[in-house]
Every structure is written in structure tokens, then in C-alpha cells.
Structure 1
Amino acid sequence: MAVITGTGHVRQGSGTPAIKTMQSVRLGQQIFILLGAIVIYFGVRHLTEGSVSSAVANAARVVDLERALGLHHEQWLQDTFASSSRVSTVFNWIYIWGHWPVIAVTLIWLARKHQVIYLRTRNAMIMSGAIGMVIFATFPVAPPRLAHLDMVDTVTVSSHAYRVLQPPMFTNQYAAVPSLHVGWDLLMGIAIAIAARRLWVKVIGVLMPIAMTIAVVLTANHYIVDAIAGAALTTSCWFAVRWWARRRELRLQVATT
């Protein structure tokens, strides 16, 4: 038989098949929860798509902020580092395949092998997604590719794969701020770096959000400020989830004494 201890570990007895069944049911439940959250996220994101004029006007405000901070270098970066079709293809692939596929694989791995880290990552992702939807609805922003900045939408020009992973019917084109492409990849990277035992896997976790930050800028899908905002949002949610979990643990300890 299999017994779950108070620390969340499974104590194995003679019933190995029972352990496998219990784990598969748990994983299936989590997949159901995440798929439901993703459907809600994309559905609401589509419904909250702002007007084109407001999104372009807000994009101009973002550009003005970047200029004031000395961060408005998106066009120069694309012209300098993504002018080659081969180079732009690499960043297109990072933008397309380095997001949802990586998130799915990472969450499944965490749910099976590192459940405490999985729950923290899942909750931070859901929390930041909910906050992001509010921002998308109240502050629509056109990305650089749609803000009349003479930047090339390299993903759309060079690849149709992104529309398979994220159909247009569920896409809010004016949800540039914050960049959850960067933010959620950062969450996955943090989780991988903490949970992994092998150094090379930890290095991948560190490099993932860096590569995605470069990709979202060079493909003209986000501003530099977007990436910073996305990283700040998800990092804040990561620590907020841990703070809330500790408060709950303390309340339970008090209640049982």
C-alpha cells in the first residue's frame, strides 16, 4: 500500500501499482486544472482586446517612457542582430517553441517529481495571469510590430507555426504589457533552477528567460519595458505565493496546538 505522510512524501509499501495509479490521477487532475485556467485566460484575453486607437496611443506612451529611461532600442536591436534570415529564424523558434511547449513539459515534470515547487509555480502563473488580464483590459498596448515603428513582425513573416499553437481567435494583439512570454518563462526557469539536480539543467533554467527576453524584442512582439514588467509581475507573484503558503502553515500550526 501507499501512504502520504504529513510532509507530502509517499511512503511505499507492498502495493507499487497503487502508487502509480495515485500519481496518474493526481497528474490528470492538475492537467485538467491548468487546461481550464488556460482556456479562461485566452478566452478573457480575446474578449478584453482594446481598441486600435487606444492601443497605439498607449504604445506611444510606452515608447516615451523608454526614451526617458534610455531603453528605447528595439528597432536598433532588430536591425543589428536580426537582419539575417537565419538569425531571425532562431529567435522566431525561441519565441514560438520556447513558450507553451516548454511550460507544458516543465509543469508535467514538476507535478510528477517536485510537487511543492509545482504548486508554487502553478499558483504564481495563475495569479500573474489574472493580474495580466486586468492590465490587458484597462491598458491595451500595441506591440512594436503594430505601433508604426518600422519594425518587422518576423514571426508572422517567416512562420505559421505560432498560429497553430495560439489561434488568432484567442489572441489579443494589443496585450503587449506585461510580457507574460518573458514572465512565465522566468517562472519555469526559476522552478527548473531550484528543482533540478544536474548543473546543466539548472543552467538551462537560467538561460531560458534570458533567451525569451531577447526573442520577444527582436521579433518585434514586445518592448524592453514589457519584458521588465512581465518579469517583475511574475517574480512578485512567486514570492507572494510563498508568503501566503507560510501564513497558512502558521495558522495550521496554531490551530493544532
Structure 2
Amino acid sequence: MSDSTVTEPEGRNQVAVPQAVTGEGGQGLLRRMRTPRRPRLWFEILLIAVSYWTYSLIRNAVPEQRGKALHNADWLWRLEHHLGIAVEESVNHGLNSVSWLIVGMNYYYATLHFVVTLGVLVWLYRSHPGRYAATRLVLFATTGVALVGYYLFPLAPPRLMRGGHFIDTVMVHHTWGSMASGDLKNMSNQYAAMPSMHIGWSLWCGLTIFALASVPWARVLGLLYPATTLLVIVATANHFWLDAVGGILCLAFGFTVARLWYGALPYALPRPAPHRSTEGPLLPSET
């Protein structure tokens, strides 16, 4: 069959070349997948629920290598002394002496990690549908790579270190709600402290609010949230400073994945979601 028979633009007997042969079908599908669409509420609820359940299942399925986790904690503590940043014990003991403050931090640690993150997702869904999928991808990629850290580098939190130098503030003050201490500790992997997803998620929330909120005070709160979270995870003896660094590196990985997939940082994408029939390349725009 000649080329003119296949590609003749005006002949009545024009033969349509299957997209699978030309590759246009696959390219079109890939283009559509990489173009943010208006999110479907039912799908997002299901996706978030299944994703968190999977994350929790995998995180808790990682073997609790107690001996190795304690050894890694001792090594990390020595490293922080060498770097001159090993002040977690002083922060833990100092804030524990102010009962109302440390109890508030215990509840902060147990609740805001989930409440604020879900709140930001809802806000994105309603107010920034064109940026929602890309920003959600950052969160998912951040959380996914954290699982690798839990497996490769089991780490005991400071409150479980040998020697009893740190105070488990949840146990001492009988605070309800933490999966890390008390009656609920058997439901969560106690040796998955590196990286800190309290920092990964809170910094994701803070940067998203700072980048997209139009109200100045909201942007300030966005920056204060991860900073406060850093103080809380140290004061409650749930993490070392370097656990926070691990969380930041995971978040950087998440942004890199979203940037490569969508061709722009999430916050640079158009605020409104393109129509579902859109197949052209997505261009960053200002709102």
C-alpha cells in the first residue's frame, strides 16, 4: 500500500491509520494524564483513604528492628553532639516542666498532623482545582519515599533511647491520642522516626499556604506551622533535629517528582482546572 493511500487528505477512500501505529494515541493519553483536571470528590476521598491505609500498613509492616534502631539512635545522637546541635534533651526537659504547655504540645503532635493536612487538601480542592493534583502528588511522593527510609534506617525516637535521659511526655502526663506511646503504641511502628513526616507534611502545608493564600496573616501562619511543629516533635522527644532534615529531603523529592511530571511546580500551574477535553500542553500562568 502506498503512502498516498494511507495519508491522502481528501480522497473518499482515505484509510485511517490506527493511533496505536502512529503513537499518537499513547502520546495523547500521556498528555491527558499530565494535564491537571478538575478533581472528582468521590475519587479523591477514596484515593486519600486507600493511600493512607496503604501507607500505614506498609509502615507498620516494616520490621521493628529494635536493636538496630537503638544502635542508630545512639549513632545519630553522637553525630549531633559532633555537629554541636544536640540540644533536644534540654528542650525536652525544659518544656516538660511547664505542664500546660507540654500537654498542649502532646495534643498538637497527635492531632494537627492529620487535621491541618486534610484541611489544606480540602482548601486546594475547592479553591485551586488546577493545582490540586500536582500539589497532592508532592504529598504522596513525599510520603512514599519516606517508607524507604523507615525500612533502610530504623531509628528509635529519643524517648525510647537507652539510658532514660529523655522524658516520654505522653506517658508522664497521661495524654490521650498519641499512637506513639501508651496503650496505642502497639498499633504503630515505634522505630520509624527517620524521616519525620510530621515535618514533611507540615512543611508541605506551610509552603502551600504561603504560596497560594491571598490573606497576609494566613501566609504568616503557613510559615509558623512547620516551625512550631519542629519545636513540638523535639520537645515531646519523638524526633531528633536530623529526623526533620530527613523529612525536608523527602519533601524535596516530592516536589521534584511533581515538577518532572507536570512540567512546572504545582504553585505555578493555573488556578482553575482546564476543561476535561483539553489535550494541549499545560502552560504555567499567574492568577
- TM-score of the superposition, structure 1-length normalised? 0.82
What per-residue deviation string (whole Å, max 9, x for no partner) do you get for residues 97-156 of structure 1?
A: 221111111111111211233223311111111111111112100000001251111124
Cα distance in 2, alignment partners of residues 74 and 112 from structure 1: 39
Residue correspondence of structure 1 range 1-257 to structure 2 within 5 A: 26-148=40-162, 149-158=164-173, 159-163=175-179, 168=185, 170-246=187-263, 253=281
CA root-mean-square deviation: 2.6
Q: Contact 1:50 / 1:137 at 8 angstroms: preserved in 2?
A: no
Cα distance in 2, alignment partners of residues 139 and 9 from structure 1: 37
Q: Contact 2:69 / 2:153 at 8 angstroms: preserved in 1?
A: yes
Q: Contact 1:98 / 1:212 at 8 angstroms: preserved in 2?
A: no
Structure 2 letter corresponding to 1:209: P
Cα distance in 2, alignment partners of residues 224 and 78 from structure 1: 12
Structure 1 letter corresponding to 2:172: V
Cα distance in 2, alignment partners of residues 83 and 120 from structure 1: 43
Q: Contact 1:124 / 1:241 at 8 angstroms: preserved in 2?
A: yes
What per-residue deviation string (whole Å, max 9, x for no partner) do you get for residues 214-236 of structure 1?
A: 00000000001101221222133
Cα distance in 2, alignment partners of residues 32 and 9 from structure 1: 17
Alpha-carbon shift at residue 205 of structure 1 (Å) = 0.8
Q: Contact 1:92 / 1:154 at 8 angstroms: preserved in 2?
A: yes
Cα distance in 2, alignment partners of residues 8 and 237 from structure 1: 17
Alpha-carbon shift at residue 157 of structure 1 (Å) = 3.4
- Secondary structure, in 3 states, of the residue corresponding to 1:99? helix
- Secondary structure, in 3 states, of the residue corresponding to 1:174? coil
What per-residue deviation string (whole Å, max 9, x for no partner) do you get for residues 16-54 of structure 1?
A: xxxxxxx7xx12211110111100000000110331111
- Quick check: 137-146 or 80-89, which moved more? 80-89
Following TM superposition, the consecutive aligned residue runs of length 4 or more in structure 1 with deviations greater than 3 angstroms are 7-10, 166-170, 251-254
Q: Contact 2:141 / 2:253 at 8 angstroms: preserved in 1?
A: no
- Quote the sequence identity (%): 30
Larger radius of gyration: 2
Q: Structure 2 unaligned runs (5+)?
A: 1-34, 270-278, 283-287
Instruction: Assess, with a 3 A threshold, how the Cα gap between structure 1 residues 195 and 167 changes in structure 2: closer, same or farther.
Output: farther
Cα distance in 2, alignment partners of residues 172 and 121 from structure 1: 27
Cα distance in 2, alignment partners of residues 118 and 156 from structure 1: 39
Cα distance in 1, alignment partners of residues 281 and 207 from structure 2: 28
What per-residue deviation string (whole Å, max 9, x for no partner) do you get for residues 194-251 of structure 1?
A: 221111111111111001000000000000110122122213322431233108x9x9
Q: Contact 1:42 / 1:170 at 8 angstroms: preserved in 2?
A: no
- Secondary structure, in 3 states, of the residue corresponding to 1:162? coil
- Secondary structure, in 3 states, of the residue corresponding to 1:98? helix
Instruction: Assess, with a 3 A threshold, how the Cα gap between structure 1 residues 8 and 137 changes in structure 2: closer, same or farther.
Output: closer
Alpha-carbon shift at residue 252 of structure 1 (Å) = 6.0
- TM-score of the superposition, structure 2-length normalised? 0.74
Cα distance in 2, alignment partners of residues 30 and 9 from structure 1: 12
